[in-house]
Structure 1
Amino acid sequence: MSKSGPIVLLEDDHDDRIFMETIFSELGIENERVYLKNSDEALEFLHNTSKSLFLIFCDVNLRGKNGLELKREIDNHKQLRLKSIPFVFYSTSIRQEQVIEAYTELTVQGFFKKENDLSEAKTSIATIIAYWKLCRHPNM
Structure 2
Amino acid sequence: MNKNGPIIIIEDDADDQEILEEVFRKLAYPNEIIFFFDGQKALDFLNREDVVPFLILSDINMPKLDGFALRDKLKTDAELSIKCIPYLFFSTALSQQAVIQAYSASVQGFFVKQSTMAELEKTISVIMEYWKRCAAPNNF
Secondary structure of the equivalent of 1:80?
helix
Q: What residue in structure 2 maps to residue 23 of structure 1?
A: 23
Aligned to 1:127: 126
Counterpart secondary structure, 2:119:
helix
- The equivalent residue for 2:115 is 116
CA deviation map 1:20-71 (0-9, x unaligned): 0010011111100110111110110010151321000000111122101110
Structure 2: stretches of 5+ with no match in the other structure = none
Paired residue for 2:138?
139
| TM-score (norm. length: structure 2) | 0.95
CA distance in structure 2 between the aligned counterparts of 1:86 and 1:58, rounded to whole angstroms: 11
Alpha-carbon shift at residue 107 of structure 1 (Å): 1.7
Counterpart of 1:89 in 2: which secondary structure? Answer: strand
Q: Distance in 1 between matches of 2:16 and 2:127?
A: 18
Name the SS for the 1:34 alignment partner: strand
Indicate the residue corresponding to 2:75 in structure 1.
75
SS at match of 1:131: helix
| Cross-structure match for 2:60 | 60
Larger CA deviation: 5-14 vs 49-58 = 49-58
Q: Percent identity?
A: 38
Q: Give the 3-state SS of the residue equivalent to 1:139 in structure 2.
A: helix
| Aligned structure 1 segments of 4 or more residues deviating by more than 6 angstroms | none
Contact kept, 8 Å, 2:10 with 2:58, in 1: the verdict is yes
How many residues are matched? Answer: 139
Q: Which runs of 5+ in 1 are unaligned?
A: none
Equivalents in 1 of 2:133, 2:68: separation in Å?
26
Give RMSD over aligned pairs.
Answer: 1.0
